[in-house]
Amino acid sequence: MKQIAVVLSGCGHRDGAEITEAISTLIAIGQCKASYRMFAPNMDFAVTDPLTGQGTKETRNVLRESARIARGHIQDLRELKVDDFDALVFPGGFGAALHLCTFAREGAKAKVLPEVERVITQFHKASKPIGGICIAPALIARVLGSVGITVTIGNDQATASEITKTGARHEDCAVNDYVTDRDHKVITTPAYMYDDAKPAEVFLGISKAIYEIVEMA
């Protein structure tokens, strides 16, 4: 049974992992008869109000928040070892661009969390598939853009422009589809980069991407 590492960035689209995307990922992995383990960085962050989108004075922990989605079955990202897995997947949500890297604030010049950069680099060097959902492809582009990977975040031209500044190539894609870079084994799908997307459309795009990842692993 193929083993997939899934990296979360909290719980909730404003400041963590997008819940529909995360759960769709887990269901799709199971439908492909593969297995998964979940990881998240052990770091604190300032909470964003999910109703208003405004910052708050409350502080929470990414690993603990991610455990809400994982039902407690989650490990510190530092424990992720590339030799234990066949592929790596990053669900989206703004946490991917806030906590895993600083793309939300700095675009193409974003800083990447060292442990995140480590796992992306190691999976790429091991020629193991890497999947990115929603805004997470921007994170992958920041790490691997210098080798000319191709990714998609849908059709948001401002975000796509920042991605191309990393050296990566961007390809427009519908919400219910995905883009594969076969040379570098990078598979990406837009999901809720389309704000008005329906859950069924998001699930369909993620399911297709995960099937490709598992087949390629």
Considering Cα of 214, then 215, then 216, then 217, what sign does the dihedral take? positive
Quick check: helix, strand or coil at residue 189? strand
**Domain range list for the chain:** 3-216
In this predicted model, what pLDDT tens digit does every residue of 34-93 receive, in sequence order?
999 999 999 999 888 888 888 888 999 999 999 999 999 999 999 999 999 999 999 999
Residues 158-177 pLDDT 10s: 999 999 999 999 999 999 99
Give pLDDT, residue 204: 98
| 3-216 homologous superfamily | Class I glutamine amidotransferase (GATase) domain (3.40.50.880)
pTM exceeds 0.85, yes or no: yes
Parallel, antiparallel or unpaired: strands 55-61 and 3-7: unpaired
Query: For residue 61, which phi and psi values (nearest 5 degrees)?
Result: -115, 135
Looking at the DSSP bridge assignments, the partners of residue 55 are 48
Please state the rounded mean pLDDT for residues 22-32: 98
What crossing angle do the helices spanning 19-31 and 62-70 adopt, rounded to 10°? Answer: 50
Catalytic residues, which ones?
A: 134
Q: Determine the number of helices (DSSP H) and then strands (DSSP E) in the chain.
A: 8, 11
What does pLDDT average to over the chain?
97
